[in-house]
Amino acid sequence: MTDNLRKVMITAKVHPYLVDYLTEKGYQVLYNPAITHEEVFQNIHGCIGLIVTTRIKVDKDVIDNAPHLQWIGRLGSGMEMIDVAYARHKGIRCVSSPEGNCDAVGEHVIATLLCLFGNIVKSNLQLRENIWEREKNRGFELKEKTVGIIGYGNTGSAVAQKLSGFECTIMAYDKYKTDFGTDFVQEVQLQDIFKYADIVSIHLPLTDETNHMVNEEFLSSFAGPVYFVNTSRGKIMDTAALIENLKSGHVAGACLDVLENEHLDTMDETERAQFDFLLHSEHVLLTPHIAGYTHEAAYKTAHIVLKKLGI
């Protein structure tokens, strides 16, 4: 194989281990964390490998301009940015590494719930304004709350495992998985989560089926006020429906690590108004898609992708 066919393109900021390992194995690494889609298209022709996150869409145009491409490695979970069917049709292997950042997401879910329930962020911001307020910041405990997990793959199960120490009742539903109940997780139907959950946490890929799954009908199905957590994909939720239910109190609060539009400078007037509402609501905690973005996860996702590819 010629040097021209030993190129691997990396399109996002990654753990140094990934670049070092590929280099040691004799690959020529094209590492450009700020690369654009157009630049990927222009420079992919001689590459046999491509490493991506959520930054770059690997569409038919990119794939067709990569005649030597043998594999695509996705750091993390979710393959919606890759035309996997077309890639496989062209003989390109596609792998992801959801096992690598599931613990990071699990910890993030716990952290944001504790912050929201305990008014930790809110009271900290007040103190920065020289406001000492105890009574209005009296919080709630996770203990004895009923948590419904929708989607019980690597991440959903990691959330459940980490919640188990809080003495919650943990229920989980997965449309495509059964017989996963444990001594601390009850396998249930979606209707049971609607009926009993105090908190619901979504751990699903973005597909045609899950796009805007969390809509008015979904949210109105809960028997009582519910706390909503989304660390998966922003487009799984209908932001307008979520806001209306926050205003009515049917959604008691929300922890959102993802938004429908995460490019703040491209938001239209409606999206900006929605973002401003969520940002300033005392019942909402927003983070910038960092749930699975720990230093440890950066290493683990890279290690798992390389292992799956057999490199």
pLDDT at 1: 41
Helix (H) or strand (E) holding 227: strand 226-230
CB-facing half-sphere around the CA of 267: CA atoms within 13 A: 15
pLDDT at 300: 98
Range 73-90 average pLDDT: 96
Q: What is the pLDDT of residues 277-298, one digit of tens each?
A: 999 999 999 999 999 999 999 9
Active-site residue identified among 37, 212, 289, 303: 289
Range 5-13 average pLDDT: 92
* Position 5 pLDDT exceeds 90: no
pLDDT at 19: 97
* Position 257 pLDDT exceeds 70: yes
Q: Is the dihedral of CA 141, 144, 149, 154 positive or negative?
A: positive
Q: What is the pLDDT of residues 139-187, one digit of tens each?
A: 999 999 999 999 999 999 999 999 999 999 999 999 999 999 999 999 9
Range 191-197 average pLDDT: 98
Active-site residue identified among 15, 108, 233, 260: 233
Q: Is 68 labeled as catalytic in the residue annotation?
A: no
- 90-to-40, 41, 50, 56, 231 alpha-carbon distances in Å: 18, 17, 15, 19, 32
* Position 214 pLDDT exceeds 70: yes
Comparing C-alpha atoms, which of 153, 139, 96 is closest to residue 283?
139
pLDDT at 27: 97
The contacts of residue 199 (CB under 8 Å, 6+ apart) are 113, 145, 146, 147, 148, 226, 227, 228, 229
In order of start, what are the domains of the chain with their CATH numbers? 3-98+295-309 (3.40.50.720), 102-286 (3.40.50.720)
Q: Is 99 labeled as catalytic in the residue annotation?
A: no
> Do 58 and 17 touch, CB atoms closer than 8 A?
no
**Chain-wide mean pLDDT for the chain?**
96
pLDDT at 2: 45
> Do 132 and 153 touch, CB atoms closer than 8 A?
no
* Position 269 pLDDT exceeds 60: yes
Q: Does pTM top 0.85 for this prediction?
A: yes
Q: Please report which confidence band the pLDDT of residue 3 belongs to, taking 50, 70 and 90 as the band edges.
A: very low
Active-site residue identified among 37, 262, 271, 283: 262
Q: What is the pLDDT of residues 135-148, one digit of tens each?
A: 999 999 999 999 99
Q: Please report which confidence band the pLDDT of residue 118 belongs to, taking 50, 70 and 90 as the band edges.
A: very high
Q: Is 262 labeled as catalytic in the residue annotation?
A: yes
Name the token pair of 186: 């009850």
Q: Please report which confidence band the pLDDT of residue 75 belongs to, taking 50, 70 and 90 as the band edges.
A: very high
